[in-house]
Amino acid sequence: MPILFDCKAIEIVMVVVSEGKISSRGKYLRKRLKKICRIGFPGALNGIRMRKWYTDAMRKYCSIINAEEFCKTHQIPFERVPYTNSEETKNIFRTSGADIGLSLGNDYISGKIFSIPKYGMLNVHHELLPDYQNAQSIIWELYNGSTDTGYTIHKIDQHIDTGAILLQEKMPIIFRNNLADTVAYNYAQLFEHSAKGLATVFDNFEKYFSEARPQAQGRSYTTPSWRQFLHMLRQFRKLKAGSD
Report pLDDT digits (tens) over 79-134.
999 999 999 999 999 999 999 999 998 989 999 999 999 999 999 999 999 999 99
| Cα–Cα dist 129/212, whole Å | 13
pTM, two decimals, is 0.94
Q: Kindly report the CA angle at 148 between 147 and 154, in degrees rounded to 5? A: 160
The enclosing H or E element of 191 equals: helix 179-203
- pLDDT score recorded for residue 38: 93
DSSP-assigned letter for residue 22:
-
Residue 183 CA to residue 175 CA, distance in Å, equals 9
Using CA atoms, how far residue 77 sits from 12, 13, 74, 100, 104, in Å, is: 9, 7, 9, 16, 17
What would the mean pLDDT of 194-220 be, rounded to a whole number?
A: 95
The closest alpha carbon to 135, from 177, 179, 187, belongs to: 187
Q: What is the pLDDT of residue 5?
A: 84
Q: What are the Cα distances from residue 222, in Å, to 58, 78, 139, 154? A: 20, 32, 11, 20
* Domain locations along the chain: 2-243
The whole-chain average pLDDT of the chain stands at 94
pLDDT for res 105: 87
Q: Average of pLDDT values for 58-87?
A: 93
Which of these CATH numbers, 3.40.190.10, 3.90.79.10, 3.20.10.10, 3.40.50.170, describes 2-243?
3.40.50.170
Lowest mean pLDDT, pick from 59-63, 72-76, 198-202, 235-239: 59-63
